[in-house]
Every structure is written in structure tokens, then in C-alpha cells.
Amino acid sequence: MNYLDFLLFPVYVALFYFLFSARRKNYTDPILRHYHKQGFWIKIVAVIGFTFFNTMLSVGDSFMLFFTEGTNICHMIMKDASQVKWLYLPSAEFDQSLLKNPNNMGYLKGENNYMVVRITALLSFISFQKYLILNLFFSMLSFSGVWRLYRFFYEQYPHLHKQLAIAILYLPTFVFWSSGILKDPICTGALGWITYALYEAFYKKKDIIKNVVIIFIAGYLLYVIKVYILISYVPFFMLFLVLKNVNLIKSRVLRVTFVLGLIFLAMAMFGTVMQQLAGTLGAYGGNDVTKNISIYQKAYAEQEDVGSSFSLGVEYDGSVSSLLKIAPAAIIATLYRPFIWESKKISTLLSSIESMVIMFFTLSVFYKAGPKNFIRPILKDPAVMYCILFALLFALFVGATTANFGTLVRYKIPCMPFYIIAIFLIQDWASKNKKSPAVGGAL
């Protein structure tokens, strides 16, 4: 970075501000206008923090890999137009001798890494190849989708606008790790877009063609960059859409019959998700998901950076029964760790504080609601059901395959807003149920 980054930054911020302001004028709801503006400025501040962190405190993939090689491809194209082929050819065909940093040898062979480099290269043409400006672009890409996610939940629960803002727009680690050149901003943005587009197309039946195009683009990005997000999220969101449509059936008998059939369908769907997740992990090792988890754990344990490694405290031998035993520890690790005393780096301190707050919040809601009122909304409210199922399944596989806090704090962010939303919804449901015991639900 140099002084030009800081000179250009206010200019690009102003451009994005006017772009989003024009969009914001279409909102008649003052609440949406308020949170859209707040969310934008929070992301701007996060870009500055992310840039400082990745250039001064902990130089990692964002700067050394994605930025370095993305701008390198941009420079090659500017010198020789025939080099534009590197923007559309498969990653396996990229000439490794063209790498700017020899230490990145092999990293671009994977299509997931190479896709981020492609996007960085494309954006470099309109950002003067400046790291701070590119971080801003990635942050705004994420915000565009995250805002769609907020709007989706706001439509369902407008009275919980503050709680939804906390879970989606204000969540520190979610905001921070989606504010720079990484896979996470692309994935969080795509997740928000695909959620809103699926809801608009298959529930509200609006703008079918436009939303199908959005679903295809967002789904493709998730498939290439982090396919496990796609295959663990979409089935449960589709379950939510089906349950929402069940409420449109006026006959209680037909509604109950439909739901009973849906339970069996959901069980079959869950099995398919598990097989797909096994296949995904199999791409990095063998074909057995349990064996691959064991391989991942051993690999992390052998890393030099043992200071940030951790143990689940459960012996894992690669069997399915052992996977079931490790599930509680893996889920707890994803949702609530690192604990304060386990944070030995600045990069994990923010996450540990956040995790502690989330853990105490969960325990508080459980204590005040009681076991019955904590479980009932999960079974009765389609949104709570889909949020908690996605969060727990995602947390299981992230926690089971990650034994390094530095990696964990980044890998877990896609599921955290959904988990927090689920807890807020349970809190709201329990509060209403105490006032009026006859609260209804999905059935």
C-alpha cells in the first residue's frame, strides 16, 4: 500500500455511498433506510480495520495470495491482451511459472482459490490495483447480499428489526472477515442473494426470470468457492419454503397429513445432504467422511502453529459412532470457542469475546424460556427450524474438520448469523407464549 490508496479511498467510498443512497431512496420504510445506512458505514469502518490487520499485524492469504496474484494477472493482461485467457481458463491450466510470488506455487491449482484471484484481477482494472480499494469492493459485494438477507428476515419479523440487525449487520467477526479480499465476502454475499432470490421466486412468485438468474450466479459462486455451504444450506431453506406454503392449506387434516409426509421427505433429504457433504470432504482425501475428519484433525495437529491449535477433548477413531460422540464437542467448538483463555493472538481475541457473549446469551434464553419453550419454537416455526438445523449441521462439520482457532474463526462465520437469529426467535416466541399460551405455529 501507499499514499494513493488513502487518496483514492474517500473517492470510492463516495461513489458507493451515492450508489447505495440511490437504492435507499426506493425504500418507503424508514426502518430499512436507517439500517441500510448504518450497515454501509459499519462496512466502511471494517474495511479500514481489515486492511490494517492484514498489512500490519497478520499478513495472510488476502494480501500475499489473492491480491498479489490477482493484480499480477491484471498487469499481464494490460501488457499483453492475449493473457486475458487466464480469466476464463480452468485453474488447472494456469501456468505456475507466471506466479508473482513463488511461495504461492500450487495454491492456484484449486478452482476455489483461483476464482477469488479471477475476481480480484477483474476488479483491479477499476481500482488502480490498490489493496485498500479492492478490499472496499469485496466488502460492498458482501454487503449487497447481506442486506438482502436482512430484508428477508425483516419481512418475516419486522418487530425484531434491532435483533436482526445485531445478528446480521453488527456481528463483529461476520462483518470483519467479510470486508476484504477473501473467499468469505463472496460467500456471505452469495448466501444472502440466494436466500432472497429463492424466497422471491418460489414463495412470493415474483420476478421469476430475474431471481432464477440470481440463484444461478450465487449458486455457482458458492459451488466453486465453498460448496459445503451450498449443500448444507439450500436443502434446509427449501424445507422452510415448503413449511411456509403448508400454512396456506386451510384444511387442518390436509395440513397435518402433508407435514407428516414432509417429515419422511426431510429425513431422506437429510441423508442426501450427509452424502453430499461426505463427497465434498472426499474431494480432499478419501471417500469416507468420517475418515476424512480424522485426516483433517491429524493434519492440523501436526501444523507448526501449535499455539492456536486445539483439541475437542473427545477421542476420534474414524467410525460413525465416534462421529456421533464428537458432534456435541464439535458444535460447541464452532459456536462458542475459542474461550477467552484460549486466545493467544489478536486475530482470535475478537472472536473469543463474541463467542463468550453468544454462549451467555444462549444460556440466558434457555434459562428464562425453559426446556419446553426453548424446543417448541424449533418444531413449530419454520424459520427457527431451518436456521437452527443449518447452523448445527454446519457447526458440526466445521468443528470436526478444524483444529486451529485461526482457521475456525473464519470458517464458522456463515452459520453464526443464523444461529443468533434462531436464539432471538426462540426468545421472542417464549416471551409471547408466556403472555398467550395459545400461540400457534407451522402446524
Q: State pLDDT tens for residues 266-279.
A: 555 555 555 555 55
Does position 145 have pLDDT exceeding 60, yes or no? yes
62 closest CA partner among 181, 225, 179, 175: 181
Scanning 80-207, the segments in alpha helix (DSSP H) are: 111-124, 131-156, 161-168, 172-176, 183-202
Scanning 283-345, the segments in alpha helix (DSSP H) are: 289-301, 320-336
- Per-residue model confidence (pLDDT) at position 282: 46
Cα dist. 246→147, 200, 296, 441 in Å? 27, 17, 41, 11
More confident residue, 263 or 241: 241
pLDDT range class, residue 166, cuts 50, 70, 90: very high
Three cell numbers at 85? 485467457
d(CA 280, CA 256) in angstroms, rounded, equals 35
Does position 416 have pLDDT exceeding 70, yes or no? yes
Does position 239 have pLDDT exceeding 90, yes or no? no
Contact 420, 358 (CB under 8 A): yes
E strand intervals along 37-129:
none
Task: Output the CA torsion sign for 54, 56, 60, 65.
Answer: positive
- Per-residue model confidence (pLDDT) at position 157: 96
d(CA 123, CA 237) in angstroms, rounded, equals 31
Residues contacting 58, CB < 8 A, separation 6+: 345, 346, 347
Does position 133 have pLDDT exceeding 80, yes or no? yes
394 closest CA partner among 374, 378, 414, 422: 414
Per-residue pLDDT tens over the stretch 172-210 = 999 999 999 999 999 999 999 999 999 999 998 899 999
pLDDT range class, residue 330, cuts 50, 70, 90: confident
112 closest CA partner among 93, 139, 90, 129: 90
pLDDT winner (highest mean) among 252-256, 315-319, 406-410: 406-410
pLDDT range class, residue 284, cuts 50, 70, 90: very low
| Matching residue, cell 456463515 | 414
Does position 345 have pLDDT exceeding 50, yes or no? yes
Per-residue pLDDT tens over the stretch 378-401 = 988 889 999 998 999 888 888 877
233 closest CA partner among 175, 185, 192: 192
Give 64's DSSP letter.
I
Query: Phi/psi of residue 156, each to 5°?
Result: -80, -40
Does position 226 have pLDDT exceeding 80, yes or no? yes
Question: To 5 degrees, how large is the angle CA 340–CA 426–CA 410?
Answer: 35
Quickly count: other Cβ atoms within 10 Å of residue 295's Cβ. 17
Does position 135 have pLDDT exceeding 70, yes or no? yes
d(CA 87, CA 177) in angstroms, rounded, equals 25
- Per-residue model confidence (pLDDT) at position 20: 93
Give 102's DSSP letter.
G
Average pLDDT for 274-293: 47
Identify the three-state secondary structure at position 80: coil
CA 237 to chain centre: 14
More confident residue, 106 or 52: 52
pLDDT range class, residue 286, cuts 50, 70, 90: very low
| Matching residue, cell 425484531 | 160
